[in-house]
Amino acid sequence: MLTAKDLRDFQKVLRQSDHPLNVGDAFHVPNLHGDKQYDMIERLFREIESCDGSGLYYFTGQRGTGKSTELRRLETRLNGEGYRCIRFDALHYLNDTQPIDAHLLMLMVAAGVDDWLTEKYPEKDGGAESLLSRFQDWLKTKVELEKVDVSLGAGPGLPSTRLQFNLKPQQETLSSKIRGMSDRREFHESIIKFIAEMCQWLQKREQRRIVIVVDSLENLRGNPLAEQDQERIFGSVLDVFADHLALIRVPDVHMVYSVPPYLCFLANITPQVSWTPLASVRVCEKPEIARRKPREIGLAVMRDLLERRLPRWREVLSQEALDRLSLLSGGDLRQFIIRILTDVFYQAQFALERLPLAKDDSIIDEVAAACSREMERLTVRSEWPLLKTIANENNIVAENRSQIKILAHLLDTKVILNYRNGGEWYDLHPTLWATLDAYTSPAQST
């Protein structure tokens, strides 16, 4: 028999669930996003494997879909198959509210690789020491960028190395310095050369091909106080990731960038680059098969997700109730675990006599109603015609540039969810289905 304290302890477990997982972690669910042809990491790995040269790969997905966890899985997979993966978080070096360009991006990549090598190979040999010193001296002379001690104030998730390039606070100055250079092309070539040399040293040392994974670039967004800033960010994202692909490649190195999901609305880049989107867990069938029909495989994954955290969950919830909550989340993992389940477990401590809660228990109804109310607050009426179209067509087609800004926000706030079963498709968050189904847009009414 569960007690209120048990339920409070369960909530703590759920609240602590929000961090990237490694393969083998107790909470890690294999094949969360599907196996075989639906396993996007396996697909990405195969693409890397089949390419001998300098591959370029874009990885994307909405917040909280498990991108960082999946990139860790890619890292494990690569390292186990004869590759050496250098993975780092771009936001340790860049501000997410400032535009970037290809030069700055590659400067950041070079800094990231240098920091990675410094941390992993404190005792260098074979000329690595002089290579890194040369690179650091060059940066100091060229753009006055130096390493600083970051161990003070560093917290969980930050690199453990004490010295790291202090690019972030100087990003704006660096950008303008680079823009003002008369030999920008030469500068860029030098950076690429340094990255290539560092990777060559590592490749020689480990006898493995090198893959660089740059995480978190999907978080680039505008400065809230600058009206035109979102446009500048869009412009810079397009410039870097669509128009100047040659500038972000490194010879003989596979480059994996996590990029904003809205990039595919800005430009048709899929013919030129490998595009790997990570979607929400498919708790519903594909629209072509049956619109918004629960999908047993997806629901089973969500059950597994909870089972690994709380093996006793069946004492709190009936399976039907859990499935209802899974559908309510639309397969959005963070909402499912941190909010929906936490809320239900919180309220369940006051209804011990009703455990396990049935599908139609008032607690489940209340949590569902609260989710709907909040989701409605994340939209404004003027967005409803667009949302209605997305709901009807399960696709996103931006009519103009200003609509992309709206779409970027709607994807950010999970009002629109992205799914993938073979092809990509979109739908509204399930808590909005009833409201938008009942809504008739002015265009439709005429």
Partner 1 sequence: MPELRFELDASLSSDFENHWQRLRILLEEPQLFAIQFVFSSNYELHSALLRRLQQTALSLAVDCLELPKTSSAELSDTGTSTAPSTAHQLAEAITRHCLARIFPAAPPHTRLLLLDLHQALPVALAALLAEPVDGERPAILHQALADSRALLLSRLNERRAQLSAFGPLLILLPEDWTKPAAEYAPDLWTQRLSSLYLPPPIPCAEGSPSSEPAQGVLPPEEAPRAAERNILARWQEALRSGQTQRLPVSDGWIAAETSAKLGNGQEAEDLAALCLRLAYERGSLREQMGSQNILGDMRLRRGRIEQAREAYTVALSIAQELVSKEPDNTERQRDLSVSYDKVADILRRSDPASALANYQASLNIRQDLARQEPDNTQWQRNLSVSYEKVADILRRSDPAAALDSCQASLKISQDLAQREPDNTEWQRDLSVSYEKVADILRPSDPAAAFANYEASLKIRQDLARREPDNTEWQRDLSVSYHKVADILRRSDPTAALDNYQASLSICLNLAQREPDNLELQTDQIISHVKIATLHPTVPTTEARAHLQAALQLARQLERAQLLTHDQAVWPDDIQRRLDALPSA
Q: What are the residues binding partner 1 (CB under 8 A)?
A: 8, 11-12, 15-16, 18, 63-64, 89, 91-92, 95-97, 152-153, 155-158, 219, 221, 223-225, 334-335, 338-339, 342-343, 346, 370, 373-374, 377-380, 409, 412-414
User: Which one, 168 or 249, has the nearer CB to partner 1?
Assistant: 168
Q: Residue holding tokens 């680039």?
A: 220
User: Which one, 346 or 439, has the nearer CB to partner 1?
Assistant: 346
User: Which one, 136 or 342, has the nearer CB to partner 1?
Assistant: 342
Q: How many residues does the chain have?
A: 446
Q: How far is the CB of 219 from partner 1 (least distance, A)?
A: 7
User: Which one, 17 or 136, has the nearer CB to partner 1?
Assistant: 17
| C-alpha–C-alpha distance, residues 317 and 355, integer Å | 7
The SS3 assignment for 55 reads coil
Do residues 342 and 15 make contact, with C-beta atoms less than 8 angstroms apart?
yes
Q: How far is the CB of 265 from partner 1 (least distance, A)?
A: 17
Do residues 240 and 246 make contact, with C-beta atoms less than 8 angstroms apart?
no
CB atoms within 10 A of CB 396: 22
Q: How far is the CB of 18 from partner 1 (least distance, A)?
A: 6
| C-alpha–C-alpha distance, residues 123 and 128, integer Å | 9
| C-alpha–C-alpha distance, residues 4 and 344, integer Å | 13
The SS3 assignment for 160 reads coil
Task: Give residue 234's Cα distance to chain centre.
Answer: 18
The residues, ordered by sequence, that sit 6+ positions from 144 with a Cβ below 8 Å of its Cβ are 177
Q: How far is the CB of 63 from partner 1 (least distance, A)?
A: 4
Q: How far is the CB of 154 from partner 1 (least distance, A)?
A: 8
User: Which one, 197 or 412, has the nearer CB to partner 1?
Assistant: 412
SS (H, E, C) 376-412: HHCCCHHHHHHHHHHHHHCCCCCCCHHHHHHHHHHHH
User: Which one, 59 or 83, has the nearer CB to partner 1?
Assistant: 59
Kind and range of the H or E run holding 326: helix 319-329
User: Which one, 197 or 332, has the nearer CB to partner 1?
Assistant: 332
User: Which one, 189 or 366, has the nearer CB to partner 1?
Assistant: 366
Q: How far is the CB of 19 from partner 1 (least distance, A)?
A: 9
Q: CA geometry: angle at 278 spanning 272 and 283, to 5°?
A: 140
User: Which one, 122 or 155, has the nearer CB to partner 1?
Assistant: 155
Q: How far is the CB of 378 from partner 1 (least distance, A)?
A: 5
Q: How far is the CB of 423 from partner 1 (least distance, A)?
A: 25
Q: How far is the CB of 405 from partner 1 (least distance, A)?
A: 10
The residues, ordered by sequence, that sit 6+ positions from 217 with a Cβ below 8 Å of its Cβ are 90, 94, 105, 257, 258, 259, 260
